[in-house]
Structure 1
Amino acid sequence: ARDERFGAALSVFRLCDSDLLNHKILLTEGVMEKECRSLMQDFFRARRS
């Protein structure tokens, strides 16, 4: 799931586009987005409580 504040893959830092890496990674957004977002939110909600 995209993270507009801290994302590293496609949103904020775009690490996969770095010329410092010797491999190129093809990312596909939106695959099971709702399920992944819910899973991550539930995980971090449980960690905070």
Structure 2
Amino acid sequence: MNAIADFVSYFRWREVVVIFVDDEYGRNGISVLGDVLAKKRAKISYKAGYN
């Protein structure tokens, strides 16, 4: 997730939309991504999970 947050930071995006697999691993990954993005002054504006 650090690499994704670095990518977001590089392009100076402040909000992102994430699409993830709605299972334990996907939800945990999105949680970590949200924390890392917050440190870089960005946030997840919308989360879309699928099975």
Which range, TM-score by smaller chain?
Answer: 0.3 to 0.5
Structure holding more helix per residue? 2
When you count strand as a share of all residues, which structure comes out higher? 2
Q: Which of the pair has more CA radius of gyration?
A: 1
Q: Which has the higher contact order (CA 8 A, sep 6+)?
A: 2
TM-score, length-scaled by structure 1: 0.36
TM-score scaled by structure 2?
0.35
